[in-house]
Structure 1
């Protein structure tokens, strides 16, 4: 791809930002050499690598490539049998340490809490190919302390020599200290100095003959001679010999380490290249995170569909997202609108996104945006916003356009900014139409900005050509920067001039001077703009109505579900109570029959028989009294006109709440709907309620019987405002719509978590939530296992799964409930 377009579209700034995110020398070199690819498989692989690196970063944090040193020169010396210095060996060690750290990151980011590999991606092979060469690295670190110091433990010979050197040095210092004490008056200073690597004493010039020895140096003033006393000459000679032996031992250790490294040059080169490549990939991921980018979908059909694109070089807080489509229904897009309205930015965004995508970089746009693979991208952009030298003259622009027309084909993307501007408008418009027609006939994907009205008409009349405009608010004299596909834009010159204070008579005179056809066309554009705004307003209202209708439908479905569930609970409790009463009655009857039979066999037992009969009658009366619903009287006398259809009432004789479904007749009778029961009731048996919810019978099953709502404060992580009364009964059938969509079990034991989860799932199911999120964390996995075991046996649960990326990963479980038919 030509280098000029990279400069024109300011791709260099993206490249500089990318290079800043790389931390190693080979990684930065790859960033600086980054160029667009033209093979779709290579592009898709690069995009996949960026996405996988970003995913690993989100899961396991950033990856450091510090310590990756340039070892290419050292490897070449090893390959020809050379011996490396301590600093070069330390560079090898630093590289191997980085390789071990990166390889460990690769393993940890591909495993769950249990340590088992659960997935592989496009980076797995690169991580696995790294060879830390641990034995070599450990040997280098054992032998070399710093770039200028080797450890005494590097070899037995070096350890022996250095021990001998320390003993010789101690002897020399002992001898010199003795001479210091006995010849103090001959010395300039009572110190021991070193000259030419040999220990000396500073002797006054007048006493140099009093201290026998070898003179090594003289002070600048001539007042001091540095004399090596005869008593330490032999010891100094021994020390110099030992120093030579030390150098030989050090060279032997370096040769041994170099020989070990020479056997691994293939792995060393491979590690250097792999670490540079991984650093480059993770730099792309960091850039994507910075721009909040997404992976584009690529095709070879020339189709571009960028959703909510944000130019990466503009302020992220101020940039207005645009949506651009090109190449499917039309291959030529003509963008019109006023100056500073965002036309050039739209043009550059399409070109820059194409180049970024083909370089394997994510683009700052909405998920699922599509880009086409182009062999070449051409751009003629010469306004003041460009970093390129402005091509302000017509001839300069035309020279560039001629070059583009010679090279462009079906695999090219062409961008024109103010095509054929800078010349006579009539001739310029005609020339622009001819150029665009040529490219259109060649099926070249083209996007052009213009002020020419002729090009707007051309786009309206030609097949495969579409208008677009950058929206402008005439009231505020400010562009909105929104790109509207399918609508030609107005220059708004008259409106802007009038708003800025140009006298009205001048504006009107200018209106009269434009041709009738041009005026009609501008009026048509105004009508189209008004129609678009009206349609957009109606669309927003329709979406609001649809959302409200869906909410009401869900609310009604939830109420019906709760009614059905409470009916089942009421019937179950009633059946249980009936079974208890029947069992109790059977027990009493059996006992009474046995007593009667026993007393009947005895003479004179009449009184006892009568006593047993009375006991049986009393028990039956008690059972009847317990089962009977005690009718209550209304708190006030009501008139028929007090009751309206839809009013909430309590049927006192049945102790049930319901809704009035008919108006009272002459006798005061009306029909009341109580759940699934519809019954005729007289107004004397009714009491009006001030609520619109239908309650279950409270007096029969331990609930509150006064018809008032019972509320309980919601708790975070569990059911909220469930409607259960403090007495344990279900006071109302309403369920709060504000129940939390998730429950947090982290920090709880299994015995604590499972009952709380059971209660929460019941409440969430009654609240008609389609799915909920159970947060159990990773940890040891015991809590996750217990949660999954419980969910397998829960009848309301249709399915469950571990969270995906963005949902919490393996630390959460997504639960979906069964749907009511």
Structure 2
């Protein structure tokens, strides 16, 4: 089988189909597609038929983000806020696709596949109440976090008032207040050090400027540092909750990701078929083999731009003569003869590919 697939350039055809996938997982699934026969062929046809009907009714599926699948495969699960955001995006994609398919009254094969997707609407809402779209933890994540952030804002306002007052009292300062060691202070010329009661936090490279924390700022800076520590502690607790929640759903989400990849792969098949102006045919039964105006996807001039984009070379750009053949039941062997470059190999490869693609 491997030699036959190579001779028929099966992998190049799969590359054309995979170019219509929206996700990396869907693309990989297309590229690893093996020809289906027997019950597998009927299921593949049923999924493709149902997908074509869905696309005609509702348009393409909202397959936007499956990057979180690789994160779920990592054993440690110590995800950063940005990585957690990717996992939330995966959950959102699962839920959006599930709802989109169910709303379209899917056919039996597609309906059976989508039934494997879990209802994650509640979990998605829980995640979105904790992380915003940029990966920042929301005040609504916990009452303790909201209270700590309010305390910090109140302290900042008090500090601002004290800083403004001190600035008016120290016109000799080298500049406005600044931060050193996460503490508010003023740049003071070393020659004016005796005029400011406070702690020296730092000095310029030349030593000409000292960064002094006036005594009136010490308690406020301490309180602000304590508030920020409380915020960091609560934020880390919330991130821990999110990590634990995703760890507990790891297998469920990985399975859902495989369903999304399958949906993406079959959507890519249908989109490629539409682009190629192809027909979706059920697997044949009986002993009659009939091909009507078949076109080889690697030679069809209409697909030259796609081949150039995906394969790096357009190949044939001239109109091709479609292949039409019919083998009645009593015919077991057909001999094709003719001059060189007369289309014998093209006809054989076209028939072979059609058998694989059905």
Whole-Å Cα distance in 2 between the matches of residues 44 and 282 of structure 1? 17
The answer on 1:32 being equivalent to 2:31 is yes
Q: Distance in 1 between matches of 2:190 and 2:14?
A: 70
Question: Would you tell me which structure has more strand in proportion to its own residues?
Answer: 1
Cα distance in 1 for residues equivalent to 2:45 and 2:81: 41
Q: Deviation of residue 8 (structure 1)?
A: 3.4
Measured after TM superposition, the shift of residue 266 of structure 1 is 4.1
2:112 maps to which of 105, 125, 134: 125
CA distance in 1, matches of 2:130, 2:282: 53
Cα drift, residue 146 of structure 1 = 4.2
Residue 44 of structure 1 pairs with residue 42 of structure 2: yes
Other structure's SS at 1:215 match: strand
For the structure 1 residues 146 and 109, does the alpha-carbon distance in structure 2 shift closer, same or farther, using more than 3 Å as the test?
closer
Residue 224 of structure 2 corresponds to which residue in structure 1? 239
Aligned residue for 1:277? 262
2:313 maps to which residue? none
Partner of 2:55: 57
How far apart are the structure 1 equivalents of 2:272 and 2:84?
A: 34
Quote the residue 2:99 is aligned against: 104
Q: Distance in 1 between matches of 2:339 and 2:121?
A: 66
* 1:686-736 deviation per Cα after TM superposition (whole angstroms, max 9, x unaligned): xxxxxxxxxxxxxxxxxxxxxxxxxxxxxxxxxxxxxxxxxxxxxxxxxxx
Q: Is the 8 A contact 1:74 1:88 kept in 2?
A: no
Task: Tell whether the 8 Å contact from 1:24 to 1:68 is kept in structure 2 after alignment.
Answer: yes
Structure 2 contact 61–97 (Cα < 8 Å) conserved: yes
RMSD: 2.6
1-structure distance, mates of 2:88, 2:46: 32
* Partner SS for 1:292: coil
- Cα separation, 2, equivalents of 1:223 and 1:54: 76
Change (3 A) 1:199 1:297: same
Matches within 5 A, 1:181-200: 181-185=168-172, 187-189=173-175, 191-200=176-185
Q: TM-score of the superposition, structure 1-length normalised?
A: 0.39
1:69-468 to structure 2, matched below 5 A, reads 69-74=67-72, 84-110=79-105, 120-185=107-172, 187-189=173-175, 191-299=176-284, 304-313=289-298, 314-316=300-302, 318-326=319-327, 328-357=329-358
- Higher RCO (CA < 8 A, seq sep 6+): 2
Q: Is the 8 A contact 1:25 1:68 kept in 2?
A: yes
Corresponding residue SS for 1:199: strand
Residue pair 1:68, 1:95 contacting (<8 A) in 2 also: yes
Q: Which runs of 5+ in 1 are unaligned?
A: 111-118, 358-821
- C-alpha contact (below 8 Å) 1:71/1:91 kept by paired residues: no
Deviation at 1:324, TM superposition (A): 2.4
Unpaired segments of 5 or more residues in structure 2?
Answer: 303-317
Distance 1:176 1:350, change over 3 A: same
SS of 2:274's partner is: helix
Q: State the secondary structure of the residue aligned to 2:132.
A: strand
Shift of the 35–183 alpha-carbon distance from structure 1 to 2, 3 Å rule, reads: same
How far 1:179 moved relative to its partner? 1.6
In structure 2, relative to structure 1, the CA distance for the partners of 1:299 and 1:248 (3 Å cut) is same
Number of corresponding residues: 342
Q: CA deviation at 1:89?
A: 3.0
Post-superposition Cα deviations, 1:420-449, rounded to whole Å, max 9, x if no partner, equal xxxxxxxxxxxxxxxxxxxxxxxxxxxxxx
Report what 1:370 is aligned to: none
Q: Distance in 2 between matches of 1:206 and 1:338?
A: 102
For 1:7 and 1:210, the matched residues in 2 are separated by 86
Deviation of 1:84 (Å):
4.3
TM normalised by structure 2 equals 0.86
Shift of 1:46: 0.7
